[in-house]
Amino acid sequence: MKFKQWQARGDLKIPYKAEKARIQKEIWEQLKLRVDYPNPTGGTSNDGNTARRAFQNFKTFARILNVREDIVRDFRTVLITLSSQFPINPGRFKVHCISLFNKLMDEYSWYLLPSSIHKILIHGAEIISASPLPVGMLAEDCAESRNKCYKFDRTYRARKTSRLDTLTDMFHRSLGTSDPLISSISLRRRAIVRKRKTLPAEVIDLLDETECGLTPVRHDEYNMTDLPDAVEENMMLEIECDL
């Protein structure tokens, strides 16, 4: 930024808008991402997928924002670690977060730290220590991933004779598909069609399982290109309602 103030007021609004337009243009040209544009249905284009793709190319992202590359990389490490669903070592996580906090204070002390960033960097290790489960398991990802199941069940597995019949069939179907025994029957086949991405080395260093020689993987996307047609047809319904 050409000016170092928390808010752009008065004469600073013009250079602020020009800088924002430049950033939006370069992010679109280099990363093909629409950042901070209003959506027709409400809200903005800033969502989890946009952030995930931006942090995947953190070097380009940092260069466009004119922000130190190591700061963007450290933020990426924190976000992946928290969402990895593996136990995190509170001590190493705290050291990493304090180091990142000090970098922010050295470079951008003029900008007030958002409360969410403060909670993660300063109190994240305490929350991890007090949590009975890895914090990634307590996220809302599981609830959100069921939305596509509800849409699929309502369209293909529920009666349309009345609203009560529709909701009843959806509820019964959800009880069955959420049962641990039933959902684990095709777990191995569902894992085959997923593209596996290994966690970055700096993330593994913050996990407790590194001493056991565990190499965690993330299951992000389905990869159907290498499957025979018959197998693909048999798996389509499972993928549409994957748990």
pLDDT, tens digit, for every residue of 135-181? 888 888 777 878 888 999 999 999 999 999 999 999 999 998 888 88
Is pLDDT above 60 for 31? yes
pLDDT, tens digit, for every residue of 197-229? 788 889 999 998 654 445 444 434 333 333 333
Is pLDDT above 60 for 104? yes
Mean pLDDT, all residues of the chain: 82
b or e along 212-239 (b: 16 or more beta carbons within 10 Å of the residue's beta carbon)? eeeeeebeeeeeeeeeeeeeeeebeeee
pLDDT, tens digit, for every residue of 122-134? 999 999 999 888 8
Residues 6+ apart with CB under 8 A from 112: 6
Say what the pLDDT of residue 210 is.
52
How open is the CA angle 57-86-130, to the nearest 5 degrees? 115
Tell me how far apart the alpha carbons of residues 181 and 164 are, in angstroms, rounded to a whole number. 28
pLDDT-derived band at 184, boundaries 50, 70, 90: confident
Element holding 218 (H helix, E strand): strand 217-222
Q: Is 219 helix (H, G, I), strand (E, B) or coil?
A: strand
As given in the structure block, the two tokens for residue 243 are 């748990």
